[in-house]
Structure 1
Amino acid sequence: MDDKEKREKMHNVKILGWVAFFGGLSQDMIIPILPTFYAQVLGLSKEMIGLIEGSVTTIVSFMRIISGIVSDKVGKRKSIVFIGYLFSAIGRVLLTLANGTYMVLGLRLIDGIGKGTKDAPRDALVAKSSDKKSMGFSFGLQRMLDTLGSFLGPLITAFLMMLFANYAIHIRYKLIFLIGGLIAFVPIFLIGLYVVEQKGGKLGTTFKLDFSVLKGKFLLFFIVMLVFTLGNSSDAFLILRARSVGVRDAVIPVIIAIFNLSYALLSVPSGILSDRIGRVNVIRLGWFIYAITYLGFALARAPWHIWALYLIYGIYYSTTEGVAKALVAHIVDEQNRGTAFGLYNASMGLLAIPASFIAGYLWDKVSPSAPFYFGALCSFIAIILITLFKIEKS
């Protein structure tokens, strides 16, 4: 690969990073206020709210698998990513018109279809645009910009809530949905104008559900990730834990913003570190930090403990999220990466459901500390397994 081609590919990686930034910014302007919109504006019950958001989680996971396989078969990552972001943008901007249960459910499902459609082929396109020696940096850049969007999104929404404070509540929310929805169209223009399709894939092959990628080192890593994820319950339990030790509700968004900033700023350094010392070594470090953090949440007794733990929690995310995707790209052949990323992303999302159920059961039946001891235990088991399996190849 000559220097010109390297520059062109790195340009692709950077543009895809900004695609992730504006996509995350749009999403996290809207998501924090959706529960209140459901309850106070539409008057939905808690059961219906759970059904809507649970349905979105399910459709996202399903579409991640389908889009990953399709992108491998047709060899066209860019067009599928474009379609995914287009669906999400349409679903978000039309929330301004939502006036009842079925309409908001339909729009959230459209957004979920878009989110699930773009994830796996985008990851595969990032991998194809990267040299193996810089894969960690590329995925670290993705996570950094995506998370910066997630950091800024709620802050912008908080500012807009104050700006529109004198408006009727339904007008206030719909104006924010409109602004967030319009921002969701920025990634579409970036993809269409600046992202370059990378050659590859099995053109002309017949589509079928093909899970043959589940073998060898990827299967071993997949199993280890399932063990770890079983103890990685919803971050909602961290918020509940913060409240249980005296953190005020108004302070929690600030703590989460600091967590996102920590995660964002350390993602690229963590990715570069994985390029130098190996993906597995950095993931192992991240899981160890996760275990220590969860033990900290189990033992926390004062609000300042929560501030410190969330800051450390950002380090865990930075050393695992992007680095794990770089490892998947490293151990799977290029023509199967879309399928691999789809299975990886979808399974992690689906296993979050039983993981959160276990955490809730332990919280109610044992103690508020029990879910965090369980999470730490699963993390330590995963560290042992990933060490024994010797997953990373040269």
Structure 2
Amino acid sequence: MAINKQSLILKNISRSVWILSLISLFTDTASEMLYPIIPIYLKSIGFSIVLIGILEGVAEATAGLSKGYFGKRSDATGKRVPFVQIGYAFSAISKPMMAVFIYPLWIFFARTIDRFGKGIRTGARDAILSDESTPETKGRVFGFHRSMDTLGAVLGPSLALIYLYFYPEDYKTLFYTAFIPGLLAVGTSFFLKEKRKINSTETKAPPFFSFLSYWKTSPPMYRKVATGLLAFTLFNNSDVFLLLKAKQSGLSDTAVIGIYIFYNLVYAAFAFPLGILADKIGLKKMLLSGIGVYAIVYFGMGFNHNIYVFIGLFTLYGIYAAATEGVSKAWISNITDKNDIATAIGTYSAFQSVCTMLASSLAGMIWYQFGANTTFIVTGTASIFILFYFVLMTNEKD
């Protein structure tokens, strides 16, 4: 009986969705294996905090802007698979590159290649997920993909933690090791098959910022939803601030990494079931629930100093991520024309990357001027206003 129920749950997960999910699992394992140690490694080879900040800013800007451009290119050419394959290949080769030479320009190049790969693949990948689902199954398909993707964020740091326990400060070997799951991701991408058949009339590549014009021509509902999501992103600062607060409250470095792994485990466990639930109750309702949980977490972080309470807050934070990340893209794909999905998601993702950079800068300034507690309270308050924006928004299609 249990097997039949499980088969029923997974019946809407097609072969292509499974392949994309495995690719994301391998890639995130590689990336998250390095995420906790990249700042430490960069400092060990002479990077200052300022230079690390500039590096990450340039890398994220590259990813954000290229998401919009290559999303539009994918729609214009009618192709998805080549963008996915090239994007994941770029991310894979960037891992060992950071260990080969330690010159700042080379490190900038390697890190930018990684984020550029993310920009190339994102719109096309999410468009495939949308094509492999119906409006009634978008939540579960995007949720399943997010669940598998985030499972890599559990495996990666866990492997790094185990390796560094036996070989402390041997960071370079980790960069080479991360190349293995990266190669598995690239190899798996060759099992994808192109399904879209569009006769493209495009003869030359459009200007890099041509995707920005989509905002004017997009459906009004897209602009309403994207505006709310981007406003939320503007106050949704980096996970690093949550980890810093935990560290300030007395957790050891190992415990901080451990709680980050725990958060991703919760995220991975809840993304798929919450995606299924979102299809039943509506994507908008699930998004509202997620933002509400987010507000609770940030108010809790602002007033809490108890180490044990952090476990509960990071549990809720994982549930928030599961209720919003895949759901937001599923909602966007439901309110845009099928032939513009990669452009729509790419354009949104481009603006989102810019807002993410601004969010962390804003949070850092508030933290520096007024302290950690004020940072979290301001963020929690802003999320309540955004919650009301979505509540009052009418004519939604979810």
TM-score w.r.t. structure 2 length?
0.91
Distance 1:56 1:101 in 2: 13
Task: Give the Å deviation of 1:358.
Answer: 2.2
Structure 1 residues 75-224: aligned runs within 5 Å: 75-165=78-168, 169=169, 172-192=170-190, 194-199=191-196, 203-205=200-202, 207-208=205-206, 209-210=210-211, 211-212=213-214, 213-224=217-228
Per the alignment, residue 73 of structure 2 pairs with 70
Structure 1 residues 227-376: aligned runs within 5 Å: 227-376=231-380
Alpha carbons 2:139, 2:330 under 8 Å: kept: yes
Task: Give the Å deviation of 1:8.
Answer: 9.7
Q: 1:32 to 1:300 in 2, by over 3 A?
A: same
Alpha carbons 2:263, 2:317 under 8 Å: kept: yes
* 3-state secondary structure, aligned to 1:393: coil
Distance 2:125 2:145 in 1: 10
Please provide the CA RMSD for this pair. 1.9
Q: Does 1:16 align with 2:20?
A: yes
What letter matches 1:122 in structure 2?
R
Alpha carbons 2:13, 2:141 under 8 Å: kept: no
Taking only the aligned residue pairs, the percentage that are identical comes to 30
Task: Give the Å deviation of 1:30.
Answer: 1.7
Per the alignment, residue 7 of structure 2 pairs with none
1:225 aligns with one of 216, 226, 229: 229
Q: 1:308 to 1:7 in 2, by over 3 A?
A: closer
Distance 1:10 1:308 in 2: 35
Alpha carbons 2:57, 2:357 under 8 Å: kept: no
* 3-state secondary structure, aligned to 2:35: helix
Alpha carbons 2:219, 2:335 under 8 Å: kept: no
TM-score w.r.t. structure 1 length?
0.92
Task: Give the Å deviation of 1:200.
Answer: 5.0
Distance 1:367 1:174 in 2: 35
Distance 1:242 1:174 in 2: 28
Alpha carbons 1:93, 1:182 under 8 Å: kept: no
Point out the more displaced range, 65-74 or 87-96: 87-96
Alpha carbons 2:12, 2:137 under 8 Å: kept: no
Point out the more displaced range, 363-372 or 266-275: 363-372
What letter matches 2:91 in structure 1?
S
The total of aligned residue pairs comes to 382
Provide structure 2 residue ranges, at least 5 long, that are not aligned to the other structure. Answer: 1-9
Residues 178-216 of structure 1: CA deviation (Å, up to 9, x unaligned): 110122011111111x21222155622354314335441
Residues 148-191 of structure 1: CA deviation (Å, up to 9, x unaligned): 001110110112223434xxx5xx32221111012201111111
